[in-house]
Amino acid sequence: MRIIAEKERKIMVEPRHEFLTFRSGMTHIYLLPYDDNFLLVDAGVRKKEAAFFSFLTKQNIVPDRIRFIFLTHTHYDHTGGLSLIKEVSHARVIVHEKEADYLRKGMTPVPKGTRASTKVVSFLGRYFFKKMGNYTPVEPDIIWNDEPYHPDPFPATIIHTPGHTMGSSSLIWKDAVAFVGDTLFGLEKEDCYPWFITDEESLKKSWEKLLNTGCEQFYPAHGRPVSIKLLESSYQKHFK
């Protein structure tokens, strides 16, 4: 891809799958190129927008080349930068219908923690620091439901993968890799189970869906890429 210098590539899978990663606080946001246009996966936290725009400038990417912003879900660490990035880029925001009202309100509840430390975070978030989860409300442009959505002309398929939240979704890119938001966590070597979930049975089905996509590599919002092997072994550990 001509606009990206080799040394500035943040992650490269192989030439036909290449994309850019920007780290917004604890959240990775992904910029997927097609021709001269881009699709952004998630919008990161607030107060990192300026850093994101200077990242675009360094890559010679004009913000209005971003055609879509796909939200894997609407937690504040995925939507904090959304309002400003949308305003500057005029990109159209894609969100699952089960997250659309949260986005309009600018508040998405924190799910339950799945381990001792995140149970505490979740409890504090729900009862004491409610404002922590707030973000600037945004009116979504494209609200989809359970039928896979294709953001034409991008070689992408968006599928519903609930569990972390009930509107959580993943984007399959070129039938080869997937961007999964918080449906998988990449923070541990041996386990990709999310640190927060809303519904375990839904998560199990979503993992089965991901295992059947044919993708070999999954890119979570937090941590390192998850291989199909790690997803399979984590599935065995938690659901068998």
- By the criterion CB under 5 A, which residues form the site for Zn ion? 75, 182
Q: To the nearest whole angstrom, how small is the minimum distance from the Cβ of residue 162 to Zn ion?
A: 12
Q: How far is the CB of 210 from Zn ion (least distance, A)?
A: 16
Rank residues 59 and 202 by Cβ distance to Zn ion and give the closer one.
Answer: 202
Report the nearest approach of Zn ion to the CB of residue 8 (Å): 28
Q: Which residue is nearest to Zn ion (CB)?
A: 75
CB of 194 to Zn ion, least distance (A): 8
Q: How far is the CB of 114 from Zn ion (least distance, A)?
A: 12
Cβ closest to Zn ion, residue 49 vs residue 182? 182
Q: Which is nearer to Zn ion, 75 or 98 (CB)?
A: 75
8 A C-beta contact, residue 180 and residue 192: no
Listed in sequence order, the residues at least 6 apart from 161 whose beta carbon sits closer than 8 Å to its beta carbon are 168, 169, 170, 180, 181, 183, 206, 209, 210
Q: Please, which residue, 13 or 121, has the CB nearer to Zn ion? A: 121
Q: 60 vs 117, which CB is nearer to Zn ion?
A: 117
How is residue 152 written in tokens?
């034409």
